[in-house]
Amino acid sequence: MLTLVNIGKTYPNGVRALGGVSMNVAPGEVVAVVGGSGSGKSTMLRVVSGLDRPTFGRVMLDGAEITAPHEKIGIVFQEPRLLPWLSVADNVGFGLADRPKLEREQRVASQVDRVGLADKAKVWPRELSGGQAQRVAIARALVTRPEVLLLDEPFSALDAFTRVDLQDHLLDLWTDLKPTLVVVTHDVDEAIVLADRVVVLRPRPGRIQEEIVTDLPRPRDRQSAAFDFAKRRVLAALDRSLERQVTADAPETKTSAGAALWW
């Protein structure tokens, strides 16, 4: 169980990024965090990962406080952040340096295979496409079998086709070991495709506006009415988080206004 206990973060320059966020994430649950700019969603993820310390509050994982990066918590950033001087396989095995060579090679090979890049294992990261590079980054985070995988706008730099492809791929990978996923995104479709629950943050400072349960049966059909309904609920919550006027009788206008903002 991952627990955020009233975490807040004020940066040294006085910016209040997070103003007290509390939530529980069950093991194996997929939670999406959405919010406008300044809602502190990336800050929240960095605090949960242990990369940044909160100004107040605590992050608990299985009863232990997280104060620094933890072996049970993996993270995938918006950019792949691969090490250009290591081959794809060595990048994937970066977090396994302390394991015996044989075990490391086996786990790397199976993980590289699992993300569909077995033929790229020996190439340099610079020879990969954006989508391939992000697959390697996901493989690198999953190869250590974390209990929690944090993803900070993982697919926002990719084109629309690759993005949909990788969303499905991430869910496919998730079924292996069912880690807890916390995905920060500004793409409402992505949130609903991936998550059991969407947490909408309100900006300046970031707090939880509301939570929307989106536990549609998997695999999710992006064209279905249920998907569209969930999307409207999230967009409406986003509108409320920005304290924008919402006219209840014009759902189409509302959706497109939201869409303009979130894409």
Partner 1 sequence: MSAVGMSASVEQATETAASTRAGRDRFARWAGPILGLVLPVGLAAGWEIAVHAGLSDGRLVPPPSRVFAQFAELAQTGELYRHVVATLLRVVFGFAFGTLAGTLLGAVAGYSSLIRRLVDPTLQGLRAVPSIAWIPLFILWLGIFETSKVALIAVGVFFPVYLGVMAAIMSVDRKVVEVGRVFRLSGPAMVRRILLPAVFPAYVISLRAGLGLGWMFVIAAEFMGASEGLGYLLIDGQQLGKPAEIVAAIVAFAVLGKLTDTLVASAAAPFLRWEDAFASRHGEA
Binding to partner 1 (CB under 8 A): which residues in 63-102? 68-71, 74-75, 77, 79, 81, 83-86, 94-95, 97
Q: Quick one: 71 or 215, whose CB is closer to partner 1?
A: 71
Cα 21 to Cα 59, 104, 208: the distances in Å are 10, 38, 6
DSSP 8-class letter at 157 = T
Q: Quick one: 70 or 207, whose CB is closer to partner 1?
A: 70
Write down the number of H helices and E strands in the chain.
Answer: 8, 10
Strand pairing category for 16-25 and 2-10 = antiparallel
| Least CB distance to partner 1 at residue 256 (A) | 35
How many residues bind partner 1, per CB under 8 A?
A: 24
Q: Quick one: 84 or 217, whose CB is closer to partner 1?
A: 84
| Least CB distance to partner 1 at residue 95 (A) | 4
Cα 132 to Cα 74, 155, 164, 166: the distances in Å are 19, 11, 13, 9
CB-side exposure of 229: number of CA atoms within 13 Å? 8
Binding to partner 1 (CB under 8 A): which residues in 36-65? 49, 51
| Least CB distance to partner 1 at residue 94 (A) | 6
CA 254, CA 235: separation in Å to the nearest integer? 8
Answer yes or no: are the C-beta atoms of 82 and 62 closer than 8 Å.
no
Binding to partner 1 (CB under 8 A): which residues in 115-144? 123-127, 144
Q: Quick one: 8 or 125, whose CB is closer to partner 1?
A: 125
Q: Quick one: 79 or 105, whose CB is closer to partner 1?
A: 79
SS3 at position 25 = strand
Binding site for partner 1 (CB under 8 A): 49, 51, 68-71, 74-75, 77, 79, 81, 83-86, 94-95, 97, 123-127, 144
